[in-house]
A and B are shown apart, each in its own frame.
Chain A
């Protein structure tokens, strides 16, 4: 017993990682703990310890702004994750054709991800701004009836966000999936060709299932970036027009800083934590089951 403990926890390693552990425990666990705690209080500008039970949650779910935010994130999430996966895979397949300027293309596709969202969001905002960007440019060229200003229309602003999200995320997805694609043995492709299986079918039925790990990694990364989406919205629409493109993270920050309602903001933040926990629990179960099955097979 003693021995196995020693073997697992090498003392210098433990000492070396103590600062990391402290930061992790301090920032994440304590921070999350207080968020949850304050979500049950009537905190206004500053946190208090006047507990009011679930009152903040009731008010939260009665707030149309929050409901719009939740709707938006579902829409944004489903659209951008689906499109990112599809585009990412198609881009990876394209890159896997041993094209000559592979490094150049990789840089281009990864560029949006490498840049800060604040910067890329601003670029998008300018391009889509009715008085600065595409619309003005084409009108100056003589097409005076041309109208393209998705960001100022409450019905289309969310689509502009989705497009920007795809632009931003499909490059990383491509990089992850390309690594997975390259890991597939060339002889598998040859065998499928001898078997007479069409290329698309080989992708769908043989290669994609072999890339489960890469897909899962890309999916988790995307989910996390969707839940956190904040800077893209701030840079492109600021949540507007009106509340049309508000998202949970934007909502939380606005409640705390503008509407000075810490309690309800914390309730919203706690709600955002739930889907993350669900994803974590789900992936934990998958890994645990795989380990168990792997052990049984071996």
Chain B
């Protein structure tokens, strides 16, 4: 990525609505051709950040560069961006073709060039049969395609998506998700994509920026974010079913150990972020799919006996709830395994796959 250079660079960006600060000295560099997903709960400032990049909001402080050019005070149309909105935002009284061409005609682009661009976009998005229809006569998925087409014909380097799939039903959403990914592979341009849906984020992103309260918590590749979350918020926000959190005590020494109730887990194999500094309250997080059960558990560095409490079949697999050190604890088994309430099970996991968080700050240890 480094060889490609930077496409969008956000430097020390702050934004307040009146007296309410929404973004706080935020920094983000997006490489050329990269697919960045801004992920976070609703109200955390994702759309606000995207609107700042688009130039739809005047920022309070900081600078924004696109393709090396300072665009902080440029009009949206001069920034070389195209944007796709959650509500599609098509012009309802115009046909699809007019929706695609209107901005270009206003910009004074020659007619044959407009026709060429529309033909190309329509082919890529397979909306050729829809060109003469009005938005009201389109389905949600078709509307969103047209909205993407409107960004496409602008021939820009950076695409901005603000929750483009949130108004669609689950099936369409997964279809269009794949199409957006294919589109990115084909166009190879920079995309910044806002969503609160972790599946979209995991499947689409080259890198995910997890946001909370106007601050980027972690910016990393999806696998890193998933396996090595920097704090408890990120760990809990990603993953479904959610990560198990077990509160307990860190006992220093060699090797260090995690104690909760009468259970002690050796942290011999755990890769601490820094040096282990003494003892203290902490939280151990382990994802349900990293827990093994039955015979296999015995080969794990940590294993214990437990009893099945609740079984939740989810089709492709089954979530089993039990107790560890007196706390609720879930693990995932294949759907074929038949476990019943009250069955004794042996469960185990490798602490190397776990995450340890400081109880106070929530930061990874």
Contacts and interface: CB of A to CB of B under 8 A. Distances in A.
Interface of A: 185, 187-188, 190-198, 201, 205-206, 209-210, 297
A194 B83 contact: yes
B147 to A, nearest CB: 8
B77 A185 contact: no
A273 to B, nearest CB: 34
A196 B89 contact: no
A278 to B, nearest CB: 26
A187 B86 contact: yes
A185 B78 CA distance: 23
Interface stretch (B101-109, B325-333, B344-352): B101-109
Contacts of A206: 91, 93-94
A190 B102 contact: no
B30 to A, nearest CB: 18
Contacts of B103: 192, 194-197
Nearest to B160: A194
B152 to A, nearest CB: 13
Contacts of A297: 136-137
14 contacts: A190-B85, A191-B83, A191-B89, A191-B147, A193-B56, A193-B76, A193-B77, A195-B103, A195-B106, A196-B77, A196-B107, A198-B106, A209-B92, A297-B137
Contact of A194 (B77, B86, B87, B91): B77
Given A195-B103, A195-B154, A201-B106, 7 more contacts: A188-B89, A188-B91, A193-B56, A193-B76, A195-B150, A197-B102, A210-B92
Contact of A197 (B86, B90, B106): B106
A214 B88 CA distance: 23
Nearest to B56: A190
Given A196-B76, A206-B93, A210-B93, A191 B136 contact: no
A197 B104 CA distance: 9
A205 B147 CA distance: 18
Contacts of B85: 187, 190-191
B87 A185 contact: yes
Contacts of B55: 193
A175 B87 CA distance: 26
Given A187-B87, A187-B89, A194 B136 contact: no
B54 interface: yes
Interface residues of B, number: 30
A194 B54 contact: yes
Nearest to B136: A297
Contacts of B107: 196
Nearest to B88: A187
B81 interface: yes
B189 to A, nearest CB: 16
Contacts of B91: 188, 191-192, 205-206
Interface string B135-147: 0110000000001
Interface in B51-103: 51, 54-56, 75-78, 81-83, 85-94, 102-103
A297 B137 CA distance: 7
B323 to A, nearest CB: 48
A249 to B, nearest CB: 37
Contact of A209 (B54, B82, B93): B93
A128 to B, nearest CB: 43
B86 to A, nearest CB: 7
Nearest to A297: B137
Contacts of B90: 191
B352 to A, nearest CB: 46
Contacts of A205: 91, 102
Nearest to A294: B136
Contacts of A196: 75-78, 103, 106-107
A131 to B, nearest CB: 53
Contacts of A188: 89, 91
B93 A195 contact: no
A192 B76 CA distance: 10
Contact of B81 (A192, A194, A198, A209): A194
B77 A195 contact: yes
A187 B54 CA distance: 13
A189 to B, nearest CB: 9
A187 B87 CA distance: 7
Nearest to A296: B137
Contacts of B154: 195
A193 B81 CA distance: 11
A209 B95 CA distance: 13
A39 B59 CA distance: 71
A201 B55 CA distance: 19
Nearest to B87: A187
A206 B150 CA distance: 15
Contacts of A192: 91, 103
Nearest to B91: A206
